[in-house]
Structure 1
Amino acid sequence: MSVQERKQRERADRERLIVATARQLAEQQGWDAVTTRLLAERIEYSQPVLYSHFRGKREIIGAVALEGAAELAATLRAATSTVAGQRARVTALARAYLDFAERNPAVYDAMFQLDGGLVFANEDTPEPLKDAFAALLESLGEVAGDGVHPGLFTELFWAALHGLATLTRARRLPPEVTEQRTQLLVDRLAVL
C-alpha cells in the first residue's frame, strides 16, 4: 500500500469516526450538544483536523442524514423483501419506517428536521436520499391505484408516515394506538 493510499484510508476512517461520534452524541444528548469543540475532544483530534473534513456542524448533520438515509433504505427493503402480498408488504414497510424513526430520533431529525445542507427532490439530490425514496416507491408504487402517479402517491404516503412519526414522538399522538393508525393508513390509502 502506498503512502497516499494509507493517508486516504486514514482520512476516510477519521471522517467515519467524526460522523459516528456526532451521531452517538446527538442520540444521547440531542443535536444542541453536538459542537465542533466537543467532537474534536471526543475523537481526540484538533478542531482544525475536524474542519479539514467538514466546514461545520451543518455538514456533519448532512453526513449523518446521508448515512441515515442509506440505513433507512436498507431497513425498508429488508422489511419488505420476504413478505408475500401487497397489503402485507405495505404494512411491513410502514411499520419499519415508523420503527426506524422511533429507534433513531437524532438521525431522523438530521434527515428531515435539521438543515444539513442537503437538496431534496431534484437533480442535485444525493444518491442515498434518492435510494431511500426508491425503497419506498418499490412497495408503494404498486398500490397507488389507477390513474395515480406512483411517485406522487409515494410522496403522500411518506408524508403521512412522517407525520405519524413526528407527532407520536412529540407526544401529540398516543403511542399505544400506533398499530391501529398504521393499519388505517394502509387500508385507506393503498389500493389493494
Structure 2
Amino acid sequence: MLTDTRSRTPCKLAEQQGWDAVTTRRLGECIEYSQPVLYSHFRGKREIIGAVALQGATEMATAVRAATAAVDGPRERVAALARAYLDFAARNPTESLGEVAGDGVDPGLFTEVFWASLHGLATLTRTGRLLPEHTESRVELLVDRLAML
C-alpha cells in the first residue's frame, strides 16, 4: 500500500513535525486515501510506522547490495558498503526519538547515541563477547537510562 513516493509521506511529516503529527487523517490526506482505506490495510498508526520502517530497511539493503555488487575486491566492497550506508543515512535522517530524548537534549544527538549503543550491543553479542541470555536486561537498562520519561 505505501509504495512509490507516497511511502515517504509519513517520514517527511515526521521529520518536519515529529511522529505525533503523523495521524491517519493527515496521512490519508497526503497520500489521497480515505481513513477507511488506510484502516483496511493497517490497524493503526503504529502499524503504519512499522511498514515505513520496514520499507526503509529494505531500501537501505537494496542500496548497499547495489553498491557492493558494482565493485570488485573485498576492500572496495567494504568502502562501497560504508559509502552507501552513509549516503542512505544522509538522505534519510532519523530524529524520531526526540520525544524521549528529554528536555535540553538534542534529538539528533540522542538518536546517534541510541543507535550507536544498539549497534555495539548487537556486534558484541554476535561475536560472543556478550552473553545472549542477558540481551533483554541490556535493552531495558539502555532504555531506562536513555529514555528519561
TM-score by length of 2: 0.54
Aligned counterpart, 1:19: 7
* Aligned positions, number: 100
CA gap 1:71/1:90 in 2 versus in 1, 3 angstroms: same
Match of 1:65 among 45, 48, 53: 53
Secondary structure of the 2:3 match is: helix
Q: Output the CA distance in 1 between the equivalents of 2:33 and 2:64.
A: 36
Structure 1 segment 43-58 matched on structure 2, within 5 A: 43-58=31-46
CA gap 1:84/1:53 in 2 versus in 1, 3 angstroms: same
Match of 2:68 among 77, 80, 87: 80
What stretches of structure 1 of length at least 5 have no aligned partner?
Answer: 1-11, 114-150, 154-192
Q: Output the CA distance in 2 between the equivalents of 1:86 and 1:59.
A: 38
Structure 1 segment 5-44 matched on structure 2, within 5 A: 12=1, 15-16=2-3, 19-44=7-32
Identity %: 67
CA shift digits 1:30-53 (9 cap, x unpaired)? 423211121122233332222111
Displacement of 1:22 in angstroms is 1.9
Secondary structure of the 2:55 match is: helix
Q: Output the CA distance in 2 between the equivalents of 1:40 and 1:48.
A: 9
Q: Output the CA distance in 1 between the equivalents of 2:7 and 2:42.
A: 10
CA gap 1:25/1:46 in 2 versus in 1, 3 angstroms: same
What stretches of structure 2 of length at least 5 have no aligned partner?
Answer: 98-124, 128-149
Structure 1 segment 1-192 matched on structure 2, within 5 A: 12=1, 15-16=2-3, 19-106=7-94, 152=126
Q: Output the CA distance in 1 between the equivalents of 2:64 and 2:3.
A: 23
CA shift digits 1:19-73 (9 cap, x unpaired)? 3432342344442321112112223333222211111111111111121122111
Q: Output the CA distance in 2 between the equivalents of 1:25 and 1:39.
A: 9
Give the aligned CA root-mean-square deviation in angstroms.
2.9
Rg larger for = 1
